[in-house]
Amino acid sequence: MSSFMTLGSTLPLLHVIGESTRRKRSSAPLPPGPPKRPLVGNLMLMGQDKGWEVFEKWSKELASDVISLTGLGQTVIILNSYSSAKSILERNNVSDRPQLLSMSELVGWKQSLIFHPFDDGWKLQRRYIHRGIGTRSALKQYDQLKEVVAAKFAKAIMEREDALDEHCHVFAGDLMLRISYGYDSKGYDPMIKMAEEVTDGASEFGAPGKWMVDVLPFLRYVPDWVPFTGWKRAVREHHSNLQKLVNTPYDWMRGEMDEGRAAPSFASKLLSEKDMTPEAASTVWATYAFLKMMCFHPEIQSRAQNEIDRVVGNDRLPLVSDMDTLPYVWACVLEALRWHIVLPLAVPHMSMEDNVCEGFMIPKGSVVLPNLWAISRDENEYPDAHTFNPERYLGDKPQRSPQDWVFGFGRRVCPGRLMAEESVFIVCATALATLHISRKMIDGVAVPIDLTQSAGLASHPTHFEYNLKPRSEQAKSLVFNAVMAS
């Protein structure tokens, strides 16, 4: 009871202090936002499911690309267009990360590159990552590995077609573990499962405004027996999962190094200089979304396969080096990246200084969110944006490539974006070359495909029914021989 009394007495004070501070800062107004409630403002609207769709709706209703939510002394700025996101987030003083108590401190994500504060430690980590996988020349050493893992993906589907989502997880996890630690996974093994659990947990805890403890930190001290504290058990579970994912492959690799049999890997090279656990971006849902859209649009799948047959032929599998000679396949990958946004609200930035942009105040300490989903559906950037159309990136006047924004902005742009692009390309090209995906039929009627996506910091495409078969016996032989040769 005393905790709730404290909460009741604290809310008015926080509201008054926050409003007073904002008035002193500048005469420039905050961006517009939805109606506010007494004491708590409108910040509580932040935690709703699929907020990216709601924020886009508010942006249109308020006739402003930049909108804001405020409450309890905190300001959240939401950027709903490419121009506003680039204008604000390209500034170095908006490169920090908000340290959500649940995510950073209690779970333990603070030291990871993606959530690390903008300081010397972050700059050092990023320098190591850039040196290892941040350039095309650095990535070339992994081309054959990516091609083999893509062939393993196609082989796994041929052997068990009814588990596409699992195969996507295994592909992304296998690639990450092979490159990072030299660990060759055996299908859906414990380390792959660990990575999946941690990714799901990060999605659950990484959304600003979802957890009250991030707004009222004293709630961390409320005893577990108090009602509505189930979140504390979830925090402990995710913390444990994160530590296992960090330590298990690291300890395995250390053992391999001690025995003199460690395979070449990104982490083993770094360990001679500094102990550090690198992180890699997941390509799980980009791959799944690509195949889903190929299933939904058989005419696009057929055209992409014809390009592969013409350029690559049928006596070998696609290579990473084929990317430049398969423009339509690459356009399909780009459109899949635009169509399904894995991080619809990206990873939050935080303003390190007061900023005035487009006549609006962005106060110091504000959480700043680029609404990537709104950018992806912006008719000014992508006419007929709700249509899957790879041709929008081809011709004399191509539309803006999702590469400009889907991996983030400014100093916080994903350092592994080139790895992600090449990985998604090679697995999708290999799948197109060797597999045919089609809609599942029941009594002669195609099963409908739901094109919506899930809620959460990391969003995934909804499940769909499909048929997946090898394109030919020759394609099957190419895949099996590539895996055997590795």
Helix (H/G/I), strand (E/B), else coil: 55: helix
State the binding site for heme.
414
* % helix, strand, coil for the chain, step of 5: 55, 10, 35
Residue 237 vs residues 43, 128, 190, 201: alpha-carbon distances, Å = 28, 30, 16, 9
Q: Contact, 457 vs 348, CB < 8 A? A: no
Residue 452: left if φ>0, alpha if ψ -120 to 50, beta else—which one?
A: beta
Binding site members: 414
Among 421, 345, 323, 355, smallest CA distance to 92 is for 355
Q: Residue for token digits 């990537």?
A: 372
How far is 116 from 97, CA to CA, in rounded Å? Answer: 7
- Cα–Cα distance between 364 and 177 in angstroms, integer? 39
Q: To which residue do tokens 């200089």 refer?
A: 273
Burial label, 104 (beta-carbon count in 10 A; 0-12, 13-18, 19+) = buried
Which two tokens mark 234? 């979830």
Q: Quick one: which of 472, 437, 423, 481 has its CA closest to 147? A: 423
